[in-house]
Chains A and B, each alone.
Chain A
């Protein structure tokens, strides 16, 4: 089997899937040319990520990494979400094949980009 059971579970039953219409921050990373684009939406209240969702164009591990990352930052303070590493995402998925590690990197970047977008929109 190429993927762990956890990857397959998150791929086949993605958590927090879908566009968020009233997001406070949106992070889009990746490149269609390379075959992966992740778009992450966050809702923030009092520096807490109260809600998060995603849409992803990509392979099974890209979808699973997005799904796992949203679960890992949901309900967490922004400061904690910014500490999320790609390694932590990959470990939470019981590992990714070596040539798929970049999917977890994209997930980490999507979270950071969404937070950055939130700050840019909320800094006067």
Chain B
């Protein structure tokens, strides 16, 4: 059995998306900035895609900037709000401890450039408190950036409440919705969102394309200079086929948002239930307030990379927050932020489902993961110490 359960990393592009992109490449090769008919055909296609993208968020077409993906959108939103703040003497930025590195590393760089950054705690349940945002606000706060849903543990944040706090204080509110867009309902008006980042390949669209929503009236600065594309906010000839693919993927997602969500929740809950049968295992992140397809577990006494490799050999493709998979010496900052000790965070497993997964696959995964965890514990000196009491169980 071959099971892809790493949909938070990327998704398999949908066939209608490929078809839309192929048709676009074959039929619409013009540059949308050209005045001639071929160019104007491309401009029309681009406008249509912008309309669809905007509508999927409850926004206006003029509020959408196409980018190369989520990371660029995050970088531009944060840098832009920081720059705008600085012009008014505001140098304080608020975010959270478990943001994606596209946000955290941008903030670190801004800190080196003279900004002050407050990272809010996310508690054991992996949920930011709107009240904490309110308390952290200062006279000189230029931006609040809180992700819509966490990429590792899938927890959904109280975006509407946080947005309301920011709106009341007159502070720009950005949300990295890369994991949420196309998976849960988003309405930027209703949720008081000023800026929002999304990425097409996380919802069955193509890689290398994303969007930044910027509410009318919020100033935006360009990261890339060189042309008047995207109303001068993002130079470079537009990735028309990619943008068309993203719009198609958003339309498909919107059509089946509730149906797909309910189906994934059913699989997710069965998977959580099954894996909970393993001793000294724990679900990371709030049990209810999480993405429909996200399951993230820690298993005490084992290390995540060896778990992933053995699961891969059994046809299960997943991911982990262990140091060995993060490419650094520390395990995932997300797992540390929810209070897990290093040695437990090393033993994490993330399974992210799509509507293509089946209940049969869930049953297979539960069986195989249970077996592999037992095998690795059997060879683990850490597990031996835990079992004989030389080391204390944490979970």
Contact surface of A with B, Cβ cutoff 8 Å: 8, 11-12, 14, 17-19, 28, 32-39, 55-60, 62-63, 99-100
Q: Which residues of B contact A39 (CB under 8 A)?
A: 381, 384
Q: B335-348 vs A: 1/0 string, CB under 8 Å?
A: 00000011100100
Establish whether residues B384 and A32, one from each chain, have CB atoms under 8 Å apart when the complex forms: no
Establish whether residues A56 and B331, one from each chain, have CB atoms under 8 Å apart when the complex forms: no
Establish whether residues A56 and B380, one from each chain, have CB atoms under 8 Å apart when the complex forms: yes
Residue of B305, B306, B310, B343 touching A32 (CB-CB under 8 A): B343
Residue of A28, A55, A59 touching B380 (CB-CB under 8 A): A55
B303 CB to closest chain A CB (Å) equals 5
Establish whether residues A35 and B310, one from each chain, have CB atoms under 8 Å apart when the complex forms: no
Closest 9 CB pairs of A and B: A59-B305, A59-B324, A32-B343, A57-B380, A39-B381, A35-B346, A57-B382, A33-B342, A35-B323
A105 CB to closest chain B CB (Å) equals 13
User: Given known contacts A33-B342, A34-B323, is B331 in contact with A60 (CB within 8 Å)?
Assistant: no
User: Is B169 located at the chain interface by the 8 A CB criterion?
Assistant: no
Cα-based distance from A62 to B304 in the complex (angstroms): 12
Q: Which residues of B contact A12 (CB under 8 A)?
A: 309-310, 313
Contact surface of B with A, Cβ cutoff 8 Å: 301-306, 309-310, 313, 322-324, 327, 329, 331, 341-343, 346, 379-384, 391
Cα-based distance from A117 to B121 in the complex (angstroms): 45
A58 CB to closest chain B CB (Å) equals 5
Cα-based distance from A108 to B379 in the complex (angstroms): 19
Residue of B301, B331, B342, B379 touching A63 (CB-CB under 8 A): B379
Chain A: CB-nearest residue to B341 = A33
Q: Which residues of A contact B305 (CB under 8 A)?
A: 59-60
Known: A28-B381, A55-B381, A57-B383. 20 other contacts (CB 8 A): A17-B379, A18-B379, A33-B342, A34-B323, A34-B342, A35-B303, A35-B322, A35-B324, A37-B381, A55-B384, A57-B379, A58-B303, A58-B324, A59-B306, A59-B322, A60-B306, A60-B324, A62-B303, A62-B306, A100-B324
| 15 A-B interface contacts by CB (under 8 A) | A12-B310, A12-B313, A33-B342, A34-B329, A35-B324, A35-B331, A35-B342, A37-B381, A55-B379, A57-B302, A57-B381, A60-B309, A62-B303, A62-B306, A63-B306
Cα-based distance from A32 to B305 in the complex (angstroms): 14
Q: Which residues of A contact B331 (CB under 8 A)?
A: 35
Cα-based distance from A121 to B223 in the complex (angstroms): 66
Residue of A11, A14, A34, A57 touching B309 (CB-CB under 8 A): A11
B323 CB to closest chain A CB (Å) equals 5
Most buried by B among A12, A17, A18, A60: A60
Cα-based distance from A91 to B357 in the complex (angstroms): 41
Chain B: CB-nearest residue to A8 = B309
Chain B: CB-nearest residue to A19 = B384
Chain A: CB-nearest residue to B309 = A60
Q: Which residues of A contact B381 (CB under 8 A)?
A: 28, 37-39, 55-57
Chain A: CB-nearest residue to B305 = A59
Cα-based distance from A37 to B329 in the complex (angstroms): 14
B274 CB to closest chain A CB (Å) equals 24
Q: Which residues of B contact A37 (CB under 8 A)?
A: 380-382
Q: Which residues of B contact A28 (CB under 8 A)?
A: 381
Q: Which residues of B contact A57 (CB under 8 A)?
A: 301-303, 379-383
Chain B: CB-nearest residue to A36 = B303
A107 CB to closest chain B CB (Å) equals 14
Cα-based distance from A56 to B305 in the complex (angstroms): 13
Cα-based distance from A12 to B309 in the complex (angstroms): 9
A63 CB to closest chain B CB (Å) equals 6
B295 CB to closest chain A CB (Å) equals 22
Cα-based distance from A75 to B308 in the complex (angstroms): 33
Cα-based distance from A56 to B302 in the complex (angstroms): 9
Q: Which residues of B contact A19 (CB under 8 A)?
A: 384
Cα-based distance from A37 to B328 in the complex (angstroms): 17
Chain B: CB-nearest residue to A54 = B379
Cα-based distance from A110 to B380 in the complex (angstroms): 15
A67 CB to closest chain B CB (Å) equals 10
